[in-house]
Amino acid sequence: MNLKNWPRIIIHLDMDAFFASVEQKINPELKNSAVVVTSNLNSPTIIAASYSAKALGYKVGNRFESNNDVYRLAANHRHYLQESKNMVQALRASISPNIEIYSIDEVFIDLTDQKRLYASTEAITDAINQCMQHLDLPVKLTKFL
């Protein structure tokens, strides 16, 4: 999509399965496994599920039912916060300094001042995906506003 007639460009970026993805990054042997995160090992409520856990029917908010094919981990918020900071820092350095943090895994990026650097929304998406590739975490660009 051409950006010429857009007065402002604001993007909503949402990290996918964030806590589970951070766990898979920290524990690379779990990269292709089904991973579920609960607040602690006494809490049954799922707070994050990897793609393959979701494919097995595990959903955020549901009760964890143990299964030999699923790794269940206790949340490590210190790591999630660090990855969140790394994400914001990388985006500020290479995409736009105008970032509003919305939650631990969501930001709004104002690209209005950088508009002339990009030919299209696809070019922006590519730049952001490339920036995020270094973090080794899956990301979703949900909306151009």
Residues interacting with Mg ion, by CB under 5 A?
Answer: 14, 105
Nearer to Mg ion, 20 or 95 (CB): 20
Q: Which of 23, 83, 100, 106 is catalytic?
A: 106
Residue 14 vs 110, nearer CB to Mg ion? 14
As a whole number of angstroms, the distance between CA 8 and CA 145 comes to 8
- Biggest CA-to-CA distance, the chain: 54
Token digits of residue 7: 């007065």
Q: How far is the CB of 122 from Mg ion (least distance, A)?
A: 22
Per the structure block, which two tokens stand in for 111? 């690209």
Question: CB 141 → Mg ion: shortest distance, Å?
Answer: 12
Least distance (Å) between residue 19 CB and Mg ion = 9
The neighbour count for residue 80, using CB atoms within 10 Å, is 20
Cα torsion through 24, 29, 32, 34, rounded to 10: -70
Distance from C-alpha of 70 to C-alpha of 18, rounded to nearest angstrom: 17
- By C-beta, is 79 or 115 nearer to Mg ion? 79
Active-site residue 106, yes or no?
yes
Provide the minimum distance between the beta carbon of 94 and Mg ion in the complex, in angstroms, as a whole number. 21
Structure tokens at 37: 């995160």
Select 26 or 119, whichever has its Cβ closest to Mg ion: 26
Q: Which residues are catalytic?
A: 106
